[in-house]
Amino acid sequence: MWPAKETGSEPRRCSEDQTKKTLTRKMIFTTTLVELPTSWSNLRGDNFKFWENEWYEHGTCSYSKLNQTQYFDLANNIWKGLQLFDIFQKESISPSTTAKQKRVDVENAIAKHIGITYKIEFYCFNNSHELLEIRLCRNHAGNDYTNCVMLDNCGSSFKWKP
């Protein structure tokens, strides 16, 4: 969950205060901590180090509104509310070692089941057309979806590996 400006720029590392930038396990609710490996997993390594980095890079920029507990709880609750994996399964969109997914199919599935018709970002790993993230952007208040303004790098189709 990354705060972003409406211009598309992303604020980063907004606090050098050690007490604010260091993530501690006790600050994340136990239920959220149990669910995070599914809702916000690191596809390339250790989850807790990943979450530490996400907090330091992005979460500290929302510290005036969200502390660590609120930040990770909100990210997890947004994921639970979306149920993207279930939506994709209903629309026969699934990870594959060989097949590519069409961007328009994913966008249509999200629009059909969630009603989000805003511009969505697809972010691929190192411009490899291997899907790393689907970004659905929210307004500054965090209570509604809005167009994503950052450029994505997946193109019209991408690989979604299991």
pLDDT 10s digits, 9-38? 566 667 666 566 678 777 787 888 899 998
Query: Which band of pLDDT confidence, cut at 50, 70 and 90, is reported for residue 1?
Result: low
By the 8 A CB rule, do 71 and 62 touch? yes
Interatomic CA distance for residues 38 and 25, integer angstroms? 17
Where is pLDDT greater, at 63 or 74? 74
Model-level pTM greater than 0.85? no
| Residue 4 pLDDT | 55
CB 88 within 8 A of CB 82: no
Cα Dmax for the chain: 47
pLDDT given for residue 92 in this prediction: 95
At residue 126, the pLDDT reads 78
Q: Which of 162, 142, 154 is nearest to 70 (CA)?
A: 142
Angle between helices 68-82 and 30-39 (to 10 degrees): 50
pLDDT at 23: 80
What is the pLDDT at residue 132? 85
Domains of the chain, by residue range, sit at 1-82, 83-162
Domains 1-82 and 83-162 share a fold: yes
Query: 45-62: per-residue pLDDT in tens?
Result: 899 998 988 888 888 887
CB–CB of 36/46 below 8 Å?
A: no
- Cβ contacts of residue 32 below 8 Å, gap of 6+? 72, 73, 76
What is each CA distance from 77 to 31, 32, 40, 82, in whole angstroms? Answer: 11, 9, 11, 9
CATH architecture of 1-82: Alpha-Beta Complex (3.90)
| pLDDT tens, position by position, 79-98 | 888 899 999 999 999 999 99
Fold of 83-162: Ribonuclease Rh; Chain A (3.90.730)
Mean per-residue pLDDT over the chain, rounded: 83
| 145 pLDDT more than 90 | no
Q: Mean per-residue pLDDT for 99-119?
A: 90
The single residue listed with the structure tokens 């209570």 is: 143
